[in-house]
């Protein structure tokens, strides 16, 4: 096997194109070491001699494409990541939305939900709000491109560093919304009743997700080039109601991208689309 030898430049470029084709993520030579590290073990498992042979498998196997997506996507998240975002949701967004839309159901999209911590964190805040305002109704949809990571999100089993932070920051919420079982610490049925997970590629038009009042698109745009960012933001906006709020990651900004989003405060934007412009 020649897997220990580096891939030819043309093969590397073809693999970068496969990443873009299936995920929209932009990679170049600076990312080759990382990509090679992620693919090497898989290629050895398949018993293939080199990266060129792996390319040919990708062209003929839909199952391998799914494994490839799992390998090349970065899935890093945690409960209550970036505390100021959760403070905004609890103290500003939820009270304001409830006052403006009494009797309606709040719909939230955790885009690129990874292993689910963001969606479950959002559900905990909504439950805390509902404890004080029982009329609140809400539903959360978490999506990701990786089938493997979505299985983890649906299972809702957590431990290690993922739980250490929330236990230190919000121990009362761990007690209320998690239970101990053979799998470790698991989200309880109260949260499960409000959260669903499904596969979605942000490069695809969200035809059947419905319309959302809040979208969390955090630490995702940094993996796309400018054109990719425009495409993703246009798709996300199609699934947002007029006036809906978009939250991005701490190292992200929409200042370089022409969109229909208006700056509200750092990391937080509002969809300015008028009602009659909203697609069916």
pLDDT at 4: 56
261 and 180 within one domain: yes
99 and 32 within one domain: no
Could you give the CA distance from residue 185 to residue 252 in angstroms, rounded to a whole number?
A: 32
111 and 54 within one domain: no
pLDDT at 273: 65
In a domain, 78, yes or no: no
Instruction: Give residue 7's Cα distance to chain centre.
Output: 31
Q: Which of 41, 72, 103 is the last residue of a domain?
A: 72
160 and 28 within one domain: no
58 and 87 within one domain: no
In a domain, 253, yes or no: yes
Q: Please write the tens of the pLDDT for every residue from 139-190.
A: 999 999 988 899 999 999 998 777 888 888 899 999 999 998 776 799 999 9
144 and 100 within one domain: yes
One digit per residue, the tens of pLDDT, for the chain of length 280 reads 455 567 888 998 999 988 888 888 888 888 888 888 888 888 888 888 888 899 999 888 888 888 888 888 766 678 998 999 999 999 999 999 999 999 999 999 999 999 999 999 999 999 999 999 999 999 999 999 988 899 999 999 998 777 888 888 899 999 999 998 776 799 999 999 999 999 999 989 988 899 999 999 998 898 888 898 999 999 999 999 999 999 999 888 898 887 889 999 999 999 986 544 444 3
In a domain, 215, yes or no: yes
Domain of residue 184: give its range: 83-277
235 and 121 within one domain: yes
155 and 18 within one domain: no
CATH number at residue 14: 1.10.155.10
137 and 268 within one domain: yes
DSSP strand pairing (212-217 vs 105-110): parallel
In a domain, 216, yes or no: yes
CATH number at residue 183: 3.40.50.150
267 and 165 within one domain: yes
SS3 91: helix
Q: Closest Cα partner for 95 from 129, 138, 131?
A: 129
61 and 153 within one domain: no
DSSP strand pairing (195-199 vs 137-144): parallel
28 and 129 within one domain: no
In a domain, 1, yes or no: no
In a domain, 17, yes or no: yes
Number of domains within the chain = 2
In a domain, 77, yes or no: no
Ranges of H-type helices in 26-160: 32-45, 51-60, 62-72, 83-88, 94-100, 117-132, 147-155
């Amino acid at each position: 096997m020649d897997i220990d030898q580096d891939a030819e430049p043309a093969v590397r470029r073809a693999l970068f194109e496969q990443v873009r084709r299936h995920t929209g993520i932009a990679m170049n030579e600076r990312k080759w070491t990382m990509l090679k590290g992620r693919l090497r073990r898989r290629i050895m498992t398949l018993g293939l001699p080199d990266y060129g042979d792996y390319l040919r498998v990708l062209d003929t196997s839909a199952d391998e494409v799914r494994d490839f997506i799992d390998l090349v996507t970065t899935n890093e998240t945690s409960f209550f990541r970036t505390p100021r975002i959760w403070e905004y949701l609890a103290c500003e967004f939820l009270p304001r939305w409830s006052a403006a839309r009494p009797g309606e159901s709040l719909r939230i999209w955790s885009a690129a939900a990874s292993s689910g911590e963001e969606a479950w964190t959002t559900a905990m805040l909504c439950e805390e709000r509902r404890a004080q305002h029982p009329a609140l109704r809400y539903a959360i949809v978490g999506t990701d491109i990786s089938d493997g990571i979505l299985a983890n999100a649906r299972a809702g089993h957590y431990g290690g560093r993922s739980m250490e932070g929330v236990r230190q920051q919000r121990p009362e919420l761990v007690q209320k919304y998690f239970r101990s079982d053979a799998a470790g610490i698991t989200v309880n049925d109260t949260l499960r009743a409000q959260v669903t997970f499904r596969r979605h590629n942000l490069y695809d038009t969200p035809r059947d997700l419905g319309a959302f009042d809040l979208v969390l698109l955090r630490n995702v745009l940094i993996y796309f080039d400018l054109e990719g960012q425009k495409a993703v933001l246009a798709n996300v906006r199609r699934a947002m109601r007029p006036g809906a709020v978009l939250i991005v990651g701490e190292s992200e900004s929409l200042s370089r991208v022409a969109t229909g989003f208006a700056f509200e405060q750092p990391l937080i934007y509002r969809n300015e689309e008028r009602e009659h412009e909203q697609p069916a």
